[in-house]
Amino acid sequence: MFQQKIIKNEQISLEILFLSFIIYLVTKKGKTMEHILENIKKLNLIKRGDTIGVAVSGGRDSMALLHYLSSLQNELDFEVVAIHIDHSLRETSGDDAMFVMSYCRRNHIRAYKFKIDVATLAKQKNQSIETAAREARYGVFESLVKKGIVDKIALAHHAEDQAETILLHLLRGSGLSGARGMEYEKRGIYIRPMLETKRSEIQRYINDNDIAFVEDETNKEDVYQRNYIRNKVMPLIVSRFPNAVEALNSFANACKEDDNFISSQVMTEALILENPKTVKIPCACFLGAPSLSSRLVFKALDMIGIYKDIERKHIEIIKNLAINGQNGAKVKLPMDVLAHKEYDYITLTNEQKEVKVLNLEFKCGTFMIDGFGKLVVKKTNNPQISEDNLIIDAKKLPKNVSWRFRREGDEITKFGGGTQKLKTYLSQKKIPLRQRDTIPVLASDSEIYVVAGVGISDKVRIDETTKQAYKIEQK
């Protein structure tokens, strides 16, 4: 009898064990990164009603973040929007964009894609590819926030990224402010929900949820500084110090506490904001403790829209200009910052040009375009053949056209025939340089069909067979 009871209990235990395993299989998806949800709630990273733009490259980390945040939409009452930026640095970059957009369509996620010629930007601004790509990328993000399309941008930086960032900042001599690394939330715009999540955990989440992603082959190119740190330096450090990632993240948190205390002692009321792009610092502020004057510079830069810490050597240049520089002396600093000695003040000016972004569906209506004015699209029953009247044949337009601003490589078929670079076309139309980047163009890939307020492609001109036409006006 006793033996029978033991056997029966063992059977029950096995049944419970089996049932638990089944429950695990059913519920394991989405459970890997639950601590992220805890941080979102604790730090109030996402508020009810928010529209969160997730920066999605198509890689493992960003796809995991997109999937995870999408799974939280109903619970936290917010909307996820995917944002993909093609930097035009690889022949296959267009494939990555198609992958992201296809994933979003299948999963009913609103998505935006942008194409930027980073290589050309880097040459124009005499910057590294890394710097030009970062500035262009963040320019797009901030434009989307400014236009009210999204409330915040979610970035997929994780614990290993944080460790790499700290090492890079230390090697660049950025000081305590740089050693604190990245923040969970920055300026109320950027959130990093996965900042303490390790790469192995993200991979586990990818596997558990069968999430497809693409590999960016440029991540293996050690010519880029971050890639060198990631591919060469960190593996060596971790091989000798297995807890290096955790230690560097802990170091960043300690630096953050110290930096916050020192920053609280800074007399920021001494700063004079002349306009959104210009701030003045009294030269006398540089006679005090270096730790305080450096943070005063960081605060001043923050006030004029420069949010990335400049290096320690640049702080010393500004200090030397304040103490020893002659009136009228100027110094050009990274990130398009100009330091200017004006009597008893150092004037810092942000000379960065705002990145204009436009991605607008072609349809009838009136649309307000920054720097252009009102764009009006309407049907017309009285079409007349004319390039200047901007009347186009509806049937001759490809289905995938949209309004955007011009890009490198754009071409248009001239009225009467013959293909021409858009740059040359605008020059011949005597459009001033300062206006060319704010004129909406109706395009499919690099082919232009309408230049708003200027002219149309011969490919969409009306003829005797035209049954439906659109008139495009600038008001």
Give the model's pLDDT for residue 259. 86
Give the model's pLDDT for residue 30. 40
Give the model's pLDDT for residue 3. 46
Give the model's pLDDT for residue 21. 44
Q: What percent of the chain stands above pLDDT 70? A: 90
Lowest mean per-residue pLDDT among 269-273, 289-293, 440-444: 289-293
Strand order in the sheet with 79-86: 110-115, 79-86, 51-55, 152-154, 190-191, 185-186
Give the model's pLDDT for residue 11. 52
Q: What DSSP line would sit under 120-153, residue for residue?
A: HHHHHHT--HHHHHHHHHHHHHHHHHHTTS-SEE
Q: Assign a CATH topology to domain 266-350.
A: 3.30.465
Q: Assign a CATH topology to domain 34-260.
A: Rossmann fold (3.40.50)
Q: Which helix (H) or strand (E) holds 472?
A: strand 469-474
Q: What is the mean pLDDT of the chain?
A: 86
Mean pLDDT value across residues 283-311: 84
Give the model's pLDDT for residue 15. 58
Q: Which residues contact 348 (CB under 8 A, 6 or more apart)?
A: 278, 279, 280, 281, 297, 300, 301, 304, 318, 337, 338, 339, 340
Lowest mean per-residue pLDDT among 15-19, 58-62, 352-356: 15-19
> Is this structure's pTM higher than 0.75?
no
Closest CA relative to residue 109, chosen from 83, 80, 85: 80
pLDDT digits (tens, 9 = 90+) for 303-319: 888 866 577 788 899 99
Lowest mean per-residue pLDDT among 76-80, 175-179, 201-205: 175-179
Residue 9 has pLDDT above 90, yes or no: no
State the pLDDT confidence band at 101, using cuts at 50, 70 and 90: very high
Give the model's pLDDT for residue 44. 94
Task: Write down the domain spans for the chain.
Answer: 1-28, 34-260, 266-350, 360-474
State the pLDDT confidence band at 402, using cuts at 50, 70 and 90: very high
Please tell me whether residue 239 adopts helix, strand or coil conformation.
helix
For 115, the token pair is 């194409």
For 284, the token pair is 């006398």
Residue 355 has pLDDT above 80, yes or no: no
Q: Dihedrals φ, ψ of 241, to 5°?
A: -125, 90
Lowest mean per-residue pLDDT among 23-32, 193-202, 208-217: 23-32
- What length does the chain have? 475
Give the model's pLDDT for residue 169. 86
Are the C-beta atoms of 135 and 127 separated by less than 8 Å? yes
Please tell me whether residue 352 adopts helix, strand or coil conformation.
coil
Residue 174 has pLDDT above 80, yes or no: no
State the pLDDT confidence band at 2, using cuts at 50, 70 and 90: very low
* Comparison of pLDDT for 266 and 413, the residue scoring more: 413
Cα(239)–Cα(243) distance, integer angstroms: 9
Mean pLDDT value across residues 160-180: 86
Q: Which residues contact 92 (CB under 8 A, 6 or more apart)?
A: 217
Please tell me whether residue 266 adopts helix, strand or coil conformation.
coil
Q: Which residue has the tokens 């021409």?
A: 420
Q: What DSSP line would sit under 39-89, residue for residue?
A: HHHHTT-S-TT-EEEEE--SSHHHHHHHHHHHHTHHHHT-EEEEEEEE-S-
Q: What percent of the chain stands above pLDDT 90? A: 51
Residue 313 gets which letter from DSSP?
A: H
Closest CA relative to residue 303, chosen from 336, 352, 350: 350
